[in-house]
Structure 1
Amino acid sequence: MSTKHIKRIGLAAAGLTATGIMIFGAASLASAETASPTPGASTSAGAGSDHGAKGGSNDTAVTGDELAKVTAAMKAKDSTVTVTGVRKDPDGSYDVLGTKDGANVMYDVSADLKTFTLNAGHGGGGKGHGGGGSNDTAVTGDELAKVTAAMKAKDSTVTVTGVRKDPDGSYDVLGTKDGANVMYDVSADLTTFTLNAGHGGGK
């Protein structure tokens, strides 16, 4: 075998070794990036909870036959409730929004449409806002007009369907946007608006 031929084989082997090192290094880097989450990244657990973390919402709008079925079940449970919208949670249960006796209400409804729990944050007992009876009150008259105007100034695409006032002076503004039900937590001075994660999307 000539010296020139041996030299070519040596160069080829060196090239393969270098390639192997590069591939191993890239694989190791990818593995390290997979194992180590980005600093500051947060999980989405609880993002869809009522008055919980202000992340993205995992619930979806209910339409068509499913909406009709849930609405009928709600009416059968309480004929005085006017359903204004329904959201479906990842576990298959529903959030039924509506009005009753002039006040906004929301029911947590089981996936089999057999269990109806009035959400305390929307006009009555049940879970939410710490359980027990709700301390928020319906907003009417000039105050309602003022809060509605502030909401429209913040986002003109929101149609306000009702406003509740919490004991600390802040407001829960319920409405619709792009065909979906939304709820904003609004500060008492009407300067801070936070989209509630459990009612139609993140911030």
Structure 2
Amino acid sequence: MSTKHIKRIGLAAAGLTATGIMIFGAASLASAETASPSPGASSSTAAGSGNGAKGGSSDTAVTGDELAKVTAAMRAKDSTVTVTSVRKDPDGSYDVLGTKDGASVMYDVSADLKTFTLNAGRGGHGGGGKGGHGGGGSNDTAVTGDEAAKVTAAMKAKNSTVTVTSVRKDPDGSYDVLGTKDGANVMYDVSADLATFTQNTHAGR
């Protein structure tokens, strides 16, 4: 075999080797890009996991001059409503709880006291602190007359610092007693036999 022919074989082999290295290198890079997520995907995932669900109620009791102002606005809107308590939401709007024609009512009131919306699904309850409350409407009824007086007396005997503003009766015969204590709105779940009183910390509206 001539020297010239041997050189041609060597050059061909070298060319094949170089081509193989290039192909392998390109494949390795493609594999690395597929395995590693892009910076944009990583940050979006992190951002998505950072959205936590809110827990509990963030509203606060309204007292003093602010309470008087909201009550006056409510009365100006509907003089048949007797305001029993007012709560302020984080966005500055109000929840006005009261009674009308012997039934408990609740109004969502804008921060500027111009918009009043009757909240038919929440009656005398807040965020549904008790099972079966706060979802698609309330099945409880207003308690009046001798029964209201009996429940109020039982509540006063249990805690004389509570001023009862309204009483609701649940389908199971138990009661929701709404009132004020030390200037703050409170609500008690009371058993049908008036023996057990449990303060409902999630439904002070």
Asked if these proteins are the same fold (TM beyond 0.5), I'd say: yes
Task: Tell me the C-alpha RMSD between the 2 structures.
Answer: 12.9
Decide whether the 8 Å contact of 2:127 with 2:134 is kept in 1.
no
For residues 98 and 47 of structure 1, the distance between their equivalents in structure 2, rounded to whole angstroms, comes to: 42
Cα offset, 1:139, TM superposition: 1.4
Can you list the C-alpha shifts for 1:162-194, whole angstroms capped at 9, x where unaligned? 211011212111112112222212222323322
SS in 1 for 2:135: coil
Segment of structure 1 superposing worse, 168-177 or 28-37 = 28-37
Provide closer, same or farther for how the CA distance between residues 142 and 80 of structure 1 changes in structure 2, counting only shifts above 3 A. closer
SS of corresponding position for 1:46 = helix
Quote the offset at 1:158 in angstroms: 0.6
Q: Is the 8 A contact 1:48 1:59 kept in 2?
A: no
- Which one scores higher on RCO, CA 8 angstroms, separation ≥ 6? 1
- Measured after TM superposition, the shift of residue 124 of structure 1 is 16
Question: What is the SS of the residue equivalent to 2:146?
Answer: helix
State how far apart, in whole Å, the 1-side matches of 2:2 and 2:159 are: 81
**Unmatched 5+ stretches in structure 1:** none
Unaligned runs of 5+ residues in structure 2 are none
Distance 1:47 1:92 in 2: 28
Residues 1:86 and 1:47: Cα distance change in structure 2 (over 3 Å): farther
Query: Per the alignment, do residues 112 and 171 of structure 1 end up closer, same or farther by CA in structure 2, a change over 3 Å counting?
Result: same
Identical counterparts, % of pairs: 91
Q: Does 1:70 align with 2:74?
A: no
Say if 2:84 and 2:97, in contact at 8 Å, map to a contact too.
yes
Structure 1 pair 111–142 and aligned structure 2 pair: CA distance change class (3 A) = same
Matched positions, count: 199
Partners of 1:64 and 1:5 in 2: CA distance: 107
Following TM superposition, by how much is the alpha carbon of 1:161 offset from its aligned partner in structure 2, in angstroms? 1.8
Is 2:125–2:134's contact at 8 Å kept on the other side of the alignment? no
Pair 1:123-2:92 in alignment = no
Q: How does 1:92-131 map to 2 (within 5 A)?
A: 92-120=92-120, 121=124, 129-130=133-134
With 40-49 and 136-145 compared, the bigger mean Cα shift is at: 40-49
Tell me, yes or no, if the aligned pair for 1:56 and 1:202 is still in contact at 8 Å: no
Distance change (3 Å), C-alpha of 1:41 and 1:14? same
C-alpha spacing 1:170/1:41, structure 2 compared with 1 (3 Å): farther
Q: Which moved more, 1:28-37 or 1:109-118?
A: 28-37
Structure ID, larger Rg: 2
- Report the Cα distance in structure 2 between the residues aligned to 1:25 and 1:152, rounded to whole angstroms: 84
What's the TM-score, normalizing by structure 1? 0.57
Residues 9-38 of structure 1 show CA distances to partners (whole Å, capped at 9, x for unaligned) of 999999999999999999999999999999
Maintained 8 Å contact 2:179/2:187: yes
| Deviation for aligned residue 1:50 | 27
Deviates more, 1:41-50 or 1:18-27: 18-27
- Compared CA separation, residues 24 and 118, structure 1 to 2 (3 A): farther
How far residue 48 of structure 1 moved from its aligned partner, in angstroms, is 26
SS where residue 43 of structure 1 aligns? helix
CA distance change for structure 1 residues 202 and 139 in 2, over 3 Å: closer, same or farther?
closer
| Gap change, CA 1:60 and 1:122, over 3 Å in 2 | closer
Task: Quickly say closer, same or farther: Cα 1:46–1:34, change in 2 above 3 A.
Answer: closer
